[in-house]
Chain A
Amino acid sequence: MKPAPFDYHAPATIDEAVALLARLDGEGRDAKILAGGQSLMPMLALRVARPEILVDLRRLGTLDYIRDEAGTLAIGAMTSKQAAADSALVRRAQPLFQAATELVGHRQIRNRGSVGGSFAHADPASEYPAVALVLDTGFEAAGPDGSRTIAAADFFITYMTTALEPTEILTAVRFAPFPAGRRWAIEEFARRNGDLALAGVTVTFDVDAGLCRNVRIAAFGVQATALRLTAAEALLEGRPAQAAQFDAASKEAAAALDDPMSCIHASSAYRRHLVGVLTARALGQAAARPH
């Protein structure tokens, strides 16, 4: 269980890193970016991933921050998940993202795993992509032509695939302000504490005069990538924030899913069922949350 041979680079600046990636891409070489290594290193050891070159971002030093940029929460891509989970600013500004972060793995994993690495890795069972979909997270990428921002809806393409080009580096994630009073919850079902979820659901909505508004529901762990459950959202939009409506939306959430994944721990039918259960729980929990 040792990696196949690879070349290793550890650039000192973002510009250097971007130039290096551009050069390697031009040479037709297969480079992979190493951040916290919590997913990539085991894949290398199993020789499941065998890039020719690793570009290690851990010497950059400039992508490790959590800050308030005029009401927008910005988190540097190399910030550790545990730092995000522990941050009072994150907890205040983006309580759902903070709660989701605590569900990732175990503390040891969160200590080494980076926020940006998880988004860029785009594991279908990861909490992050689903949360990004409901929070409208923006992804800032640096490339040879400068920086661009990619919206969450455009970022996650399919199984472990994002809109990032091979020459781009994810440098930061930005969260639009989370309105006061907005309801939120994240519910997942994993075999053990800290395992990747067999299924998970996250929700946000506002309650205006007793009616649900701006309903966002996203699921993870059920298909190749996280997805919005738009049929369920539509069913709940403008309806009373009550158990009967939540139940109806949950049933719709489960029923409308296209062909959930199957594995030794959960069949497709069981995953579909779990999405319904978790949606109901998340909606109920969000509605009951003091705000």
Chain B
Amino acid sequence: MAIEIPTLPEQMPNDASRYVGKAVNRVEDPALVSGTVEFIDNFSLPGMLHCAILRSPHPHARILSVKVDAALAAEGVAAVLTGEDVGRWCNPCFTAPEGWGNYCLAVGKVRFVGEPVVAVAASSRYLAEDALELVDIEYELLPPVADAGQAMASGAPLVFEERGTNVMLDRTYTWGELERVFAEADRVVSRRFRWNRVGANPTETFGCVCRWDLADNSLVCHGAYQTPRFMAIGRAASLNLPVNRVRIVTHPQGGGFGGKGGPRGTDIAALLSRKSGGRPVKYIEDRMEYLLAGGGQSWDRHYDAALAVKADGTVTGFRVRLVDDQGAGAEGYGTISAAKPLAAFTGNYRIEAAGYELTLVATNRAPTYPYRGYGPPPHNLVLESLMDCTAREMGIDPAELRRRNYIRPEQFPYTVPSGNEYDSGDYHAVLDRVLQMADYDALRAFQAEARAAGRLVGIGVVNTVEPGVFDWNAYATVGVPGVGVPEGVKVAVDLFGGVTVAVGFSLQGQGQFTVASQVAADYFGIDIAQVRVATTPSDVAVPHFGQGGSRLGVAVTGAILGACEKLRAMFCTVAAHVMQAPEGGVELRNGCLRRIDAPEHSMSLAEIAGLMLSRSDLLPPGIEPCPEATYVWTAPNRNAPDDQGRCRSYLTAANATHVAVIEIDRDTGRSAILDYFIVDDCGTRLNPANVEGQLQGGVAQGVGAALYEEYVYDADCQPLVSTFVDYLMPTIHEVPMTKKDHIVTPSPVSPLGAKGCGEGAIHTTPATILCAINDALAPLGKELLETPASPHRVWKLLHEDGAAA
């Protein structure tokens, strides 16, 4: 049976939406604000032990000996886990590209500071940490590979000796006639950029409680898991268990953002449970562990990029060379994030040819993990900065240069050179709206006045496309097979007319339970309070993925609508039978199943469900007594990539244009954000308050990446950042409350026309701030091409030749 998923809210079986499209209060919030949510650290099991992990103080060293006798004899200690156990029982974590993974505990050698070496399970975390002090490890120090340049140097030490190289992947993509457009260009604008390592820092770090049932040889892991099914498959692979013997129970999470490196902590806790006779073991990663090695490090990038430009400002080519420092292995899938820019390589522009030289290297820094946006934010900073450089060189207003190069509204659906298809958009309208809201002409007048007074004031106008609803095909060329990312739900109607939506994911902060409730309530014409969204453990849930890649709002909407469509067909059949209407003579409308020829004859949802469950004698043949349906949604019309990685990958293409006004203090180098404006278009806004929340949160992380955050390593590859005293997350004082507006260009292909918007402003904000800073610096003839634009960094630039003295 082909299921038609409504692509507009108006296509749902009601006269008017009561919830979809409205800023409905989040159903998640009462429990959050009253403190009754069961975050993993609040969760305990009887007999539970607590895990503490001894971590490597060295970036690169051979482990000569490990002595744990004293720790094992210490008060309260039930088990000690070493690399020897792990080497016997486990496999290294699987990676893409393959074979660049570490074991959950170091086996033979350590490859980064913070790598787990020994773990203890004891009756309290205090005693477990005390026992770690009794462990004696002898290391032989090896020369570290401290950065990407060292990694690629001939004769460099090897992070993974068996690979014979530190280069994990080296490939070139060419899309269109790249050489020709650069040869025919009137101007080539090229720059080198350095995006320093930043990453996700959720309020809650990773945590889990694992129990290995020795009789059943099965494993149950409760935890703060972002992608439960994926986690189950990974645990089965690394722990040598059948997948159907691994159950992941995902708890509500205090934020995710991609960075919770759950696999290591889970495997360690699981093995400690196995070693301690099956007692449950809790591991709660502390902030220092998280910052050093927990999965919060991403995007350590060196760019060399160029635009080919015609005399009239038309950009014809975009060439990028990226050297991406992945750290010690590919366990966190930082590799994949370097491939994501293929989904929107050329941004909002009609650039006809592009090229991408991608080199991923291993170093002795911590492995990199996904971070909100998953790769494009640095790429966007490069493209948008080059657009600004071009505008400056040519004396064209940066907004005007962009406008000239936009994909035009009538060109959608538009296939970008790197292969993805943008579903819809109106970039000119977005730009017009934001320039009007910001009063751009007045801003430029203010800037001229300020400059005349010697002030360093700059304006950034930056637009980006946010690829939404990720698909595995985007990553096939870096070693991830597959097309399609299933997201499944089960929708059940009970005999009182309540609706339960069973999903495979849990709360993470974005409000997907609310969106799910809105969609189900509107579809069945019931009050939102009659909908319950419940999380199912991974082993019994229908195929699902969870949060990631700006997809879940759209995907879960599609899944619910699919299940609802199946229920509608079934309920109409049952109702027609019991009301003795002709086949097809009953419709669902506003929550009632009514005869089309006599609408006054109708049945409620409760009546249908009750009848199905309790009157089998009245059911038509072939109908089961089950008013429930599952549906597993995946994005329509996806295809496998060609040899240049080209495919229809991300389903939707939201877009936004930001305008930032920044002033640099000449004396201190500090950049102050004077004003900030956003206009975005993510199609149908299922819950406008949710969208605004995602946008504002993305701004915060963008401000962090642009101005504050940086994982600093010294020349010996020692991390210099291990607490929040040094890793500077912006706070409410540093993040401007942005002025926002939007336009709506529904997606013609997605459920209800909604586009993925979960990553939001992190795509745009770093580039906007850096462009504004460079606009401010322009009168001095200086450019800052490195992030973050810390006061010290800007001050050095200002004072390197006495320019601002």
Q: Are A192 and B731 in contact (CB under 8 A)?
A: yes
B708 contacts chain A at the CB level, 8 A cutoff: yes
Known: A1-B287, A2-B126, A265-B792. A193 touches B721 (CB 8 A): no
Fill in one digit per residue for A1-16: 1 if any B CB lies within 8 Å of its CB, else 0: 1111100000000000
User: C-beta contact mask, A42-54 vs B, less than 8 Å → 1, else 0?
Assistant: 0000110000000
The B644-687 residues at the A interface (CB cut-off 8 A) are 667-668, 670
Question: B17 interface residue, CB < 8 Å from A?
Answer: no
Q: Are A264 and B721 in contact (CB under 8 A)?
A: yes
Query: Does B728 lie within 8 Å of A192, measured CB to CB?
Result: yes
Instruction: Flag if B708 contacts A192 (CB, 8 Å).
Output: yes
A141 interface residue (CB < 8 Å to B)? no
**Most chain B Cβ neighbours within 10 Å, of A2, A194, A273, A277:** A2
Query: How far apart are the CA atoms of A273 and B731 in the complex, in Å?
Result: 26
| Interface check B173, CB cutoff 8 A | no
Q: Is A267 an interface residue (CB 8 A)?
A: yes
Task: Answer whether residue A266 sits at the interface, using C-beta atoms and an 8 A cutoff.
Answer: yes
CB neighbours (8 Å) of A266 from chain B are: 792
> Would B668 and A274 count as touching, CB distance under 8 A?
yes
Residues in A with CB closer than 8 Å to B730 are 192
Nearest-neighbour CB distance to chain A for B149, whole angstroms, equals 20
Looking at the complex, which one of A191, A264, A273 makes contact with B712 (CB distance below 8 Å)? Answer: A264
A65 on the B face (CB < 8 A): no
A171-207 to B contact mask, C-beta < 8 Å, 1/0 = 0000000000000000001011111100000000000
Which residues of A, 266-286, contact B by the 8 Å Cβ criterion?
266-267, 270, 273-274, 277
* Interface flag for B795 (CB, 8 Å): yes
A108 to chain B, nearest CB (A): 12
B286 within 8 A of A: yes
* CB interface residues, B 96-152, toward A, < 8 Å: 125-126, 129-130, 133
**Closest B-chain residue to A46, C-beta based?**
B288
Does B725 count as interface, using CB distance less than 8 angstroms? yes
Taking the complex as formed, is B314 at the interface, i.e. its CB lies under 8 A from any CB of chain A? no
A264 near B720: Cβ-Cβ < 8 Å:
yes
* CB atoms of B286 and A1 under 8 A apart: yes
- B708-A191 in contact (CB<8A): yes
* Chain A min CB distance to B121 (Å): 15
Give the complex CA separation of A140 and B133 in angstroms: 40
Q: Tell me, rounded to whole Å, the shortest Cβ–Cβ distance linking B454 to chain A.
A: 16
Q: Which residues of A contact B133 (CB under 8 A)?
A: 4
CB distance B287 to A194 under 8 Å?
A: no
Partner of B791, one of A4, A46, A191: A191
Residue B790 CB within 8 A of the other chain: yes
B interface size (C-beta, 8 A): 31
Given the complex, which residues of B lie within 8 Å of A274, measured CB to CB? Answer: 668
Over the window 766-805 of chain B, the binary record of Cβ atoms lying under 8 Å from chain A Cβ atoms (1 yes, 0 no) is 0000000000000000000000001110011001000000
Chain B residues whose CB sits within 8 angstroms of the CB of A196 once the complex forms: 725
Residue B726 at the chain A interface, CB threshold 8 Å? yes
Assess whether A264 is in contact with B726, with CB atoms less than 8 Å apart: yes
Bound: A267/B790 CA distance, A:
12
Question: B721 to chain A: which residues have CB within 8 Å?
Answer: 264
Closest to A270 in B: B792
Interface residue? B733 (CB, 8 A):
yes
Query: Please, how many angstroms separate the alpha-carbon atoms of A270 and B126 in the complex?
Result: 41
Q: Is B84 an interface residue (CB 8 A)?
A: no
Contacts of B796 in A (CB 8 A): 270
A193 near B668 with CB under 8 A, answer no
- Measured between beta carbons, the chain A residues less than 8 angstroms from B726 are 264-265
> In the docked arrangement, what's the CA distance between A111 and B758, Å?
36
Interface string of B273-290 (1 = CB under 8 A from A): 000000000000011110
- Tell me the nearest residue of chain A to B126, going by C-beta: A2
- How would residues 21 to 46 of chain A score, 1 for a CB under 8 Å from any chain B CB and 0 otherwise? 00000000000000000000000001
Q: Closest residue of chain B to A274, judged by CB?
A: B668
Interface residues of B in 702-748 (CB under 8 A from A): 708, 710, 712, 720-721, 723, 725-726, 728, 730-731, 733-734
**A4 engages B130 (CB within 8 Å):** yes
Docked Cα-Cα span, A70 to B324, in Å, equals 67
List, in ascending order, chain A residues with CB within 8 A of B129's CB.
1-2, 4, 47
CB-defined contacts of B731 to chain A, threshold 8 Å: 192-194
Nearest residue (CB) in A for B133 is A4
Please tell me which one of the listed residues A3, A191, A264 contacts residue B126 in the complex, with CB atoms under 8 A apart.
A3
**A193 close to B734 (CB less than 8 A):** yes
Residues of A within 8 A of B130 (CB): 4-5
Chain A, 245-291, CB within 8 A of any chain B CB: 264-267, 270, 273-274, 277
- A277 contacts B668, C-beta separation under 8 Å: yes
- Shortest Cβ distance from residue A105 to the other chain B in the assembled complex, whole angstroms: 12
Q: How far is the CB of A116 from chain B (nearest CB, A)?
A: 23
Complexed CA–CA distance, A36 and B764 (Å): 42
Closest to B728 in A: A191
Known: A264-B721, A270-B792. 7 other contacts (CB 8 A): A1-B287, A5-B126, A191-B791, A194-B731, A196-B725, A264-B710, A273-B795
Q: Which B residues contact A (CB, under 8 angstroms)?
A: 125-126, 129-130, 133, 286-289, 667-668, 670, 708, 710, 712, 720-721, 723, 725-726, 728, 730-731, 733-734, 790-792, 795-796, 799
A-B contact pairs, 28 of them (CB 8 A): A1-B288, A2-B125, A2-B126, A3-B126, A4-B130, A4-B133, A189-B668, A191-B728, A191-B790, A192-B730, A192-B731, A193-B731, A194-B733, A195-B725, A264-B712, A264-B720, A264-B721, A264-B726, A265-B728, A265-B790, A265-B792, A266-B792, A267-B792, A270-B792, A270-B795, A273-B799, A274-B668, A277-B667
